């Protein structure tokens, strides 16, 4: 039985359909990625699933409980890391987690053990008595994830968990998140607009303008844009191309002094290529399609374009604010 | 049920921890009643010669207690706006606890914090020459708590309608000052013209201050200008208002967009 089930879900804000008839299922103990540009309807969907918003129409259920009619059952089953920090910065790391444990009715004799274990897991045990305002962005995020799992939820929602983090904290956080299903037995539902981050997901749904345009495993999605591309440098490209056609039936084209070969599973192809070309090979390079290529193919635009756009808006508003300020 | 009690406990504990960590806040909130008591009260007592059988400064003492409670408990609901602005409110709203326990927890934290402040003001009674028996003090404190709970839940109710700090503080100032002046804190309600008198009757603070007058001046119970209602009416109004405010605020929190 799927742990999250969404059927024909729609949410209108006035005339705007933020979510427009989406449907999907999430299997237990998996990582499900919800991908799309800013404003695609990701956060709206999460807010409906975690009982903060009611849908205009359609159904959403977590572990068999309807998100609308049985919200208190649903709330017990879920943990959430929102897009913006929801920690109390005046409280210490320990106090934030303790607040959460009380709120979720974790038995009192387990509080200390669980909180200490969670802090240890995220590597913040040494800083447990520091106020959260002294923490870096990455530390806050990790603390929020730890808080989200302290009451052992069935599903953990992560809404753009790496937004605004530096590359290193981002990598750390991903490593940590990818271990969660195995380590804590939790199903992870995450949104992101960074395509490369979605690679750790077991399944991905790509959403644009409130509609799911594709749903599948990362491998399946990448196959939609054709397979991998192998670039070969050989001592004699022409001869090598002929040889490949003869022995393996592969068509290779020459491009900028390299042979360019399309293959479904490029990595498995390389050993065969090399063995059939004997010692002619000078170098091999494999290029795999990215999820960004998938998005580009399906929507005709790159996902980053939009992300970049909103970033520019922010810069503009900061600039105009500074202008005002400088005049004074 | 036990989850809800836990939630109330931890919401109150959080506010108290924060209250203790911000000592500057206590000093600044105590400054207002002190200014009113000594500067306004002290100054006015020269011009006002009330026939209520006591100096003006003593007459306004229950009113100043009421003011301390009014400002600190209504403004304690600002924490709700902060929580909304900094996202912490979401952490509470997605938790499997009843929305009423969030409201009650917030109201109780406002109650405790403002009662602490009211007690500090109360202990100044010898300075203005007032005589209060040891027996009266628990009664006064108890009444302060009741009034504080009522006003804190009113503040929370108002806060449920506002998302940002600016509009909330504007509306609060618009409500709080008239509430204070139309409460019988500075003058007996009976002396007001009928239109204003009606407004004071709609103001829960009027009943709270009236009840505090019973507690602070027990011996003068018969004096015409000190009391406007019977003590039973005062307490009933405070209790009913508190319940109504908490219920509506809880329903407002439950409502989803």
Domain ranges of chain A: 4-219, 227-287
**B85: nearest CA partner in chain A:** A86
Question: Cβ of B18 under 8 Å from any chain A Cβ?
Answer: yes
Residue A309 is predicted with a pLDDT of 47
Question: CA-CA distance, A61 to A233, in Å (whole number)?
Answer: 54
pLDDT digits (tens, 9 = 90+) for B29-48: 888 888 888 888 888 877 77
Residue B105 is predicted with a pLDDT of 95
Q: Which of B227, B30, B24 is nearest to B119 (CA)?
A: B30
In this predicted structure, the answer to whether residue B205 has a pLDDT above a threshold of 90 is yes
Residue A242 is predicted with a pLDDT of 84
Angle at B7 between CA A132 and CA B166, to 5 degrees: 60
Helix/strand/coil (H/E/C) assignment for every residue in chain A: CCCEEEEEEEEEECCEEEEEEEEEEECCCCEEEEECCCCCCHHHHHHHHCCCCCCCEEEEEECCEECCCCHHHHHHHEEEECCCCCCCCCCEHHHHHHHHHHHCCCCHHHHHHHHHHHHHHCCCHHHCCCEHHHCCHHHHHHHHHHHHHCCCCCEEEEECCCCCCCHHHHHHHHHHHHHHHHHHCCEEEEEECCHHHHHHCCEEEEEECCEEEEEECHHHHHHCCCCEEEEEEECCHHHHHHHHHHHHCCCCEEECCEEEEEECCHHHHHHHHHHHHHHHEEEEEEECCCHHHHHHHHHCCCHHHHHHHHHHHHHHHHHHHHHHHHHC
The ipTM is 0.85
**A99: nearest CA partner in chain B:** B10
Q: Looking at CA atoms only, how far is residue B101 from chain A in angstroms?
A: 10
Question: CA-CA distance, B250 to B245, in Å (whole number)?
Answer: 8
Query: Cβ atoms within 10 A of the Cβ of A90, count?
Result: 18
What residue spans define the domains of chain B? 2-254
pLDDT digits (tens, 9 = 90+) for A210-239: 999 999 998 888 877 777 788 888 888 888
Determine the straight-line distance between the first and last CA of chain B, rounded to whole angstroms. Answer: 26
Q: Hey, are the CB atoms on B86 and A99 less than 8 Å from each other? A: no
Q: Hey, are the CB atoms on A95 and B14 less than 8 Å from each other? A: yes
Residue A308 is predicted with a pLDDT of 47
Q: Looking at CA atoms only, how far is residue B73 from chain A in angstroms?
A: 21
Of the options 3.40.640.10, 3.40.630.10, 3.30.930.10, 3.40.50.300, the CATH number for the domain spanning A4-219: 3.40.50.300
Angle at A317 between CA A315 and CA A318, to 5 degrees: 65
Question: CA-CA distance, A282 to A280, in Å (whole number)?
Answer: 7
Residue B224 is predicted with a pLDDT of 53
What pLDDT band is residue B257 in, cutting at 50, 70 and 90? Answer: low
Going by CATH, does the domain composed of A227-287 fall within 3.30.70.260? yes
Give me the residue from B6, B88, B257 closest to A102, CB to CB. B6
In this predicted structure, the answer to whether residue A240 has a pLDDT above a threshold of 90 is no
The residue that leads in pLDDT, A114 or A199, is: A114
Q: Which of B3, B25, B96 to mutate to test the interface with A (most CBs of A within 10 A)?
A: B96
pLDDT digits (tens, 9 = 90+) for A276-305: 887 788 888 888 777 777 777 777 766 655
Question: Cβ of B86 under 8 Å from any chain A Cβ?
Answer: yes
Instruction: Enumerate the residues of chain B whose CB falls inside 8 A of the CB of residue A82.
Output: 87, 90
Give the three-class secondary structure for B254: helix
Q: Chain-wide mean pLDDT for chain A?
A: 84
Question: Cβ of A145 under 8 Å from any chain B Cβ?
Answer: no
What pLDDT band is residue A176 in, cutting at 50, 70 and 90? Answer: confident
């Amino acid at each position: 039985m799927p742990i999250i089930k969404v059927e024909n879900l729609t949410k209108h804000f006035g005339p705007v359909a933020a979510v427009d008839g989406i449907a999907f299922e999430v299997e237990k103990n998996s990582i499900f990625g919800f991908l799309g540009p800013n404003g695609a309807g990701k956060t709206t969907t999460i807010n409906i699933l975690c009982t903060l918003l009611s849908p205009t129409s359609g159904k959403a259920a977590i572990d068999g409980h309807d998100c609308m009619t049985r919200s208190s059952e649903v709330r017990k089953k879920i943990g959430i890391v929102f897009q913006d920090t929801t920690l109390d910065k005046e409280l210490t790391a320990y106090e934030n987690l303790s607040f959460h444990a009380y709120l979720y009715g974790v038995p009192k004799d387990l509080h200390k053990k669980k909180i200490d274990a969670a802090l240890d897991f995220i590597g913040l045990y040494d800083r447990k008595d520091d106020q959260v305002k002294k923490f870096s962005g990455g530390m806050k995020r990790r603390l929020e994830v730890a808080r989200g799992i302290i009451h052992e939820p069935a599903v953990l929602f992560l809404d753009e968990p790496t937004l605004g983090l530096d590359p290193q904290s981002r990598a750390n956080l991903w490593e940590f998140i990818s271990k969660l299903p195995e380590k804590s037995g939790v199903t992870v539902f995450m949104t992101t607009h960074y395509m490369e981050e979605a690679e750790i997901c077991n399944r991905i749904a790509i959403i644009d303008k409130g509609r799911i345009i594709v749903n599948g495993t990362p491998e399946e999605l990448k196959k939609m844009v054709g397979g991998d591309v192998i670039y070969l440098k050989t001592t004699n490209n022409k001869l090598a191309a002929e040889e490949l056609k003869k022995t393996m039936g592969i068509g290779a084209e020459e491009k900028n002094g390299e042979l360019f070969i399309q293959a479904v599973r490029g990595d498995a192809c390389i050993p065969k290529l090399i063995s059939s070309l004997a010692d002619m090979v000078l170098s091999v390079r494999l290029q795999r399609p990215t999820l960004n290529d998938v998005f580009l193919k399906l929507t005709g635009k790159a996902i980053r374009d939009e992300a970049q756009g909103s970033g520019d808006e922010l810069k503009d508003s900061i600039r105009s604010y500074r202008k005002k300020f400088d005049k004074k | 049920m036990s989850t809800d009690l836990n939630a109330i406990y931890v919401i109150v504990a959080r506010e108290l921890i924060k209250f203790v960590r911000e000592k500057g806040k206590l000093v600044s909130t105590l400054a207002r009643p002190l200014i009113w008591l000594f500067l306004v009260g002290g100054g006015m007592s020269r011009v006002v010669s009330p026939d209520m059988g006591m100096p003006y400064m003593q007459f306004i003492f229950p009113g100043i207690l009421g003011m301390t409670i009014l400002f600190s408990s209504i403004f304690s609901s600002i924490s709700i706006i902060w929580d909304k602005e900094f996202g912490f409110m979401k952490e509470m709203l997605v938790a499997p606890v009843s929305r009423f326990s969030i409201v009650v927890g917030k109201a109780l934290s406002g109650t405790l914090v403002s009662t602490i402040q009211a007690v500090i003001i109360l202990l100044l009674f010898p300075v203005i020459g007032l005589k209060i028996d040891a027996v009266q003090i628990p009664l006064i404190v108890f009444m302060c708590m009741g009034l504080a709970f009522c006003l804190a839940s009113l503040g929370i109710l108002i806060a449920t309608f506002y998302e940002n700090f600016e509009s909330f503080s504007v509306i609060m100032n618009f409500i709080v000052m008239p509430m204070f002046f139309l409460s019988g804190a500075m003058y007996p309600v009976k002396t007001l013209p009928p239109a204003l008198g009606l407004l004071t009757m709609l103001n829960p603070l009027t009943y709270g201050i009236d009840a505090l007058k019973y507690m602070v001046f027990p011996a003068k119970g018969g004096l015409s200008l000190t009391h406007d209602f019977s003590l039973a009416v005062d307490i009933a109004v405070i209790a009913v208002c508190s319940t109504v405010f908490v219920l509506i605020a809880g329903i407002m929190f439950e409502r989803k967009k």
